[in-house]
Amino acid sequence: MPYACFLSKFIRAGFSQEAGQRGGAVLAASPAVTDNDFDYFGDSCMKPEDILKFEPKVLSQEQREFYFENGYLLLENFIDNAWLDRLWQVTNSFIEKSRELSKSDQVFDLDPSHSADNPRLRRITYPAAQDPVYEEFAFRGPIVDLAEDLVGPSVKYHHSKLNFKWADGGEEVKWHQDIQFWPHTNYSPLTIGLYLDDVDDEMGPMGVVPGSHRGEIFDLYGDKGDWVGAIKDRDIARVDLDKVVWLKGPKGSVTIHNCRMVHGSMINSSPRSRPLLLHTYSSGDALPLRGVGTTDPRCSELIRGEPARWVHFDEEPCLIPPDWSKGYTSIFALQQEEEAAAR
């Protein structure tokens, strides 16, 4: 029996209950781990070599192999104008709603200079839970085919967000990896981003370091033990930033990056905003930790394929973040607070 599958039986035998009694993080697929979470296609786990055996929906085999080797993809003009028009209509309605707010709340993460006359948004939190159009795009839109091509025929939704990087100074996102924010039992999770508008070098496109998803998993805590959500300068020196690829493209372009990819973006110095609609998915055999990570109400919902019978454990450990159920706004707020504290 594969080691990962042996561990799944260990969990069913009582690890979750024991960890809960200790107050630690426990594995969860929806509200709790059940036998249904371990129904899969057989005794094997969805590793890249297994995924590549399935006929792709929209990607070429070469593109899939490139993703597994380099950790990212950029697909220009992947989403058509019909979808973009619908998404912009609802996005503009949320921008209008933000004029009524003077501070961030559970839906809106606002720039400190936000006002009713000059709205400046950093993020809409969990858009798929806020509006039917966002929900349809996340759960039944064309990006789900992309997810299936890269995580296998059993696809779980994890969370969504809309990062704006507003015009004339929209904040940078420092170099980081995603998986430390919401650990899973394996490293299949990926994030698919949609540029709602054209993105060029001035607008702070996302930058990725090819192959870094196969390297070190970094500590995102600061020197004082507080979570800062960014790789420390002395640690990022171990990453070859000369290899950075900036993922720019016309509206409708899609970015895809693995959860271990080292990535970030610069300040938006242009007069145009850079809205990037992001969705994270995982293989059906990946379980997130409960008590840390996202509070998206539909986290770990199976949206395609059959439930997993075996949980896939990667042998490499992952950093555990703070308990986000106590409150979380965005990576922008975390990283900017770090800068303020440093001053």
Domain ranges for the chain: 3-342
Q: What is the pLDDT of residues 63-104, one digit of tens each?
A: 999 999 999 999 999 999 999 999 999 999 999 999 999 999
- How is domain 3-342 classified at the architecture level of CATH? Sandwich (2.60)
Q: What is the pLDDT of residue 170?
A: 77
Provide Rg for the chain, Cα atoms: 19
* Total-model pTM: 0.85
Q: What is the pLDDT of residue 38?
A: 38
Q: What is the pLDDT of residue 271?
A: 92
> Widest CA span of the chain, in angstroms?
63
CB contact at 8 A, 183 and 322: no
Structure tokens at 51: 């995924």
Q: What is the pLDDT of residue 126?
A: 95
Q: What is the pLDDT of residue 324?
A: 76
| Average pLDDT value for the chain | 86
Q: What is the pLDDT of residues 125-141, one digit of tens each?
A: 999 999 999 999 999 99
Structure tokens at 77: 């003009």
Q: What is the pLDDT of residue 246?
A: 97
CB contact at 8 A, 77 and 250: yes
Structure tokens at 290: 């409960």
Q: Which residues of 215-241 are buried (b: 16+ CB within 10 A; e: fewer)?
A: bebbebbeeeeebbbbbbeeebeebee
Distance CA 196, CA 203 (A): 13
Q: What is the pLDDT of residue 45?
A: 78
Q: What is the pLDDT of residue 1?
A: 38
Q: What is the pLDDT of residue 326?
A: 66
Q: What is the pLDDT of residue 295?
A: 82
Closest C-alpha among 216, 223, 207 to residue 237? 216
Q: Which residue positions in the chain have pLDDT lower than 70?
A: 1-44, 290-293, 326-343
Distance CA 82, CA 127 (A): 19
Backbone angles phi, psi at 36, to 5 degrees: -65, -20
Q: How far apart are the first and last CA of the chain?
A: 54
Taken in order 72, 238, 204, 340, the sign of the CA dihedral is positive
Closest C-alpha among 4, 28, 36 to residue 312? 4
Distance CA 239, CA 282 (A): 25
